[in-house]
Amino acid sequence: MRQPRFDELRLDVERRLREAGLQFGQGTEDAAQEAAWMLIHCLRLPLLESFARLRELRRRPVPQPAVRRLQRLLEQRVRSRRPLAYLLGEAWLQGRRFLADERAIVPRSLIAELLDRGLQRWLAQPPRRIADVCTGGASLAILAAQRWPQAQVTAGDISRPALELARRNVELHALGGRVRLLHSDLLAGFDSGERFDLVLCNPPYVSARSMAALPPEFRHEPRLALAGGADGMDLVRRLLRQAAGHLQPHGVLVLEIGHERRHFEAAFGALPVHWLAVSSGDDAVLAIEAGALAVAR
């Protein structure tokens, strides 16, 4: 029996994903990228290296055991509409692997893009104390700790199941000595005198209207980590009231609000903020300096 080639299978899987009407954006951008990830996984190849040489893999024959694994995975993805990251138990962000399951949203924060080079303007010096609020599986906390090796990072979340997943990710990256996990409703569980040079937050910000329209893939993620109330700003309002008391005078809050800029500006139009450019544009992530929060408090 002729072994199918990599490119033949990839195109077939891509077509079937599209025909099934699946949604993406949870670790993959589109059907083509997801099909390649599925096939690489079923071939048990290293993911990043394989994506870097996809052209070389095009004519690679795929043995029947890998084809069968691919068929089972595809059927499961189409039938369950679970995100591929949950089916595989892992997600990749900024070239790092994170364990992923339904205890937290799939790692995909746009803030991750800014850690390497997008925050220099707002940091007077490399941060030594960082907080990651609504940490979920702790991907941002881990990336920040890796970006600034001199920093201590406190990662908080209200969900104990999410914090258990976060603990496993911290162990995976051997950062137990520098990333502290904290059960906290936003910043309420942090010590009252604890101040940070940098606070990161990818909070629940999805408005009620947007929540009602979520496709099945996103409904597998914990509602607690997505729903932000009628206008998506319920938790953001609370966070901005708390943040001034936990920032150093030179500190900065970096906040992701996704597609809800219209609601953010309606709620906080008088607050001076700086919109930061990321891959999706310049209306999804913003920086707020400590001084601005102190005045608005």
User: Which pLDDT does position 155 carry in this prediction?
Assistant: 98
Q: Provide mean pLDDT across the span 97-109.
A: 98
CA dist 225 → 29, 135, 229, 237 (Å): 21, 10, 12, 16
Q: List, in order of start, the domains of the chain with CATH numbers.
A: 6-88 (no CATH), 101-296 (3.40.50.150)
Q: Is the pLDDT of residue 293 over 70?
A: yes
Q: Is the pLDDT of residue 296 over 90?
A: no
CA dist 269 → 151, 153, 251, 264, 292 (Å): 33, 31, 21, 7, 13
User: Confidence band (pLDDT; 50, 70, 90) for 193?
Assistant: confident
Average pLDDT for the chain: 95
Q: What angle do CA 262, 266, 270 make, to 5 degrees?
A: 120
User: Which pLDDT does position 25 carry in this prediction?
Assistant: 95
Q: Is the pLDDT of residue 140 over 60?
A: yes
Whole-angstrom distance, CA of residue 94 vs CA of residue 109: 10
Decide which of 256 and 270 is more confident. 256
User: Which pLDDT does position 208 carry in this prediction?
Assistant: 96
